[in-house]
Copies of this chain bind each other. A is one copy, B any other.
Amino acid sequence: MARPVLDFWFDFASTYSYPAAMRIGSLAEAAGIDVRFRPFLLGPIFKAQGWETSPFNLYPAKGRNMWRDLERLCADLSQPFARPDPFPQNSLLAARVALAVPETKREDFCTAIFRMQFANGRRIDQPDAIGTILAGLETDPTALLAAAQTDAIKDKLRAVTAEAQRLGIFGAPTFITADGELFWGNDRLERALAWTQRGK
């Protein structure tokens, strides 16, 4: 029987997508679930509701709480945490490369980008740094960075982002089950996996 599948939607710049990305692999494996990493861009979705930047910047009290909460959360998970500067990072190039990377390497590429940003506090918009990650995954950095600039990949990312919006996604991380149930937030990951297993 085919293993059940859970879609994991995220923007690389999204703060709570970091613990979700670090946790989902082993939790899904233990539950016998396949995860599809679905990078998209939150920017156009935020713009459509009138936000020009992250709501964590627009609403300072909410933002202060998020940074503190994320710090506590990462401490509880024994995950290193560094606050990205600037925030939000420009996630366009990383998202395009993630779509160009072979599917078998996508999860490793995505978690490496999250670690670079939130564990090591480095920018994620630099081709050199992304190239180093690609080389470490035994892929061809030059070819993939070039592929990321093609119309095919640019169009693909636009289509994926439009799909996210059509699915009702308004933030990240978001988990969507095969039967269309949407769960928003790192703190709903366990519930999304349970739903995927039980079908309710």
Q: Which chain A residues have a beta carbon within 8 Å of chain B's beta carbons?
A: 49, 59, 61-62, 64-65, 68-69, 72, 76, 168-171, 182-185, 187-188, 191
Given A62-B171, A65-B168, A76-B191, 12 more A-B residue pairs with CB atoms under 8 Å apart are: A59-B170, A61-B170, A62-B170, A64-B168, A65-B170, A65-B182, A68-B182, A69-B183, A69-B188, A72-B191, A185-B187, A187-B187
Q: Sorted from nearest, which 5 A-B pairs have the closest CB atoms?
A: A61-B170, A187-B187, A62-B170, A61-B168, A65-B184
Nearest-Cβ distance from residue A40 to partner chain B, whole angstroms: 14
Q: Which of A59, A61, A168 has the most CB of B within 10 A?
A: A61
CA of A191 to CA of B69, assembled, Å: 10
A–B Cβ pairs within 8 angstroms, 20 of them: A49-B59, A59-B170, A61-B168, A61-B169, A61-B170, A62-B170, A62-B171, A64-B168, A65-B168, A65-B170, A65-B182, A65-B184, A68-B182, A69-B183, A69-B184, A69-B188, A72-B191, A76-B191, A185-B187, A187-B187
CA of A59 to CA of B191, assembled, Å: 23
Residue of B nearest to A171 (CB): B62
Count the copies. Answer: 2
CA of A168 to CA of B187, assembled, Å: 22
Which B residues are in CB contact (< 8 Å) with A184?
65, 69
CA of A182 to CA of B168, assembled, Å: 30
Which B residues are in CB contact (< 8 Å) with A59?
49, 170
Which B residues are in CB contact (< 8 Å) with A182?
65, 68
Nearest-Cβ distance from residue A77 to partner chain B, whole angstroms: 12
CA of A82 to CA of B61, assembled, Å: 30
Which B residues are in CB contact (< 8 Å) with A170?
59, 61-62, 65
CA of A24 to CA of B40, assembled, Å: 37
CA of A183 to CA of B64, assembled, Å: 11
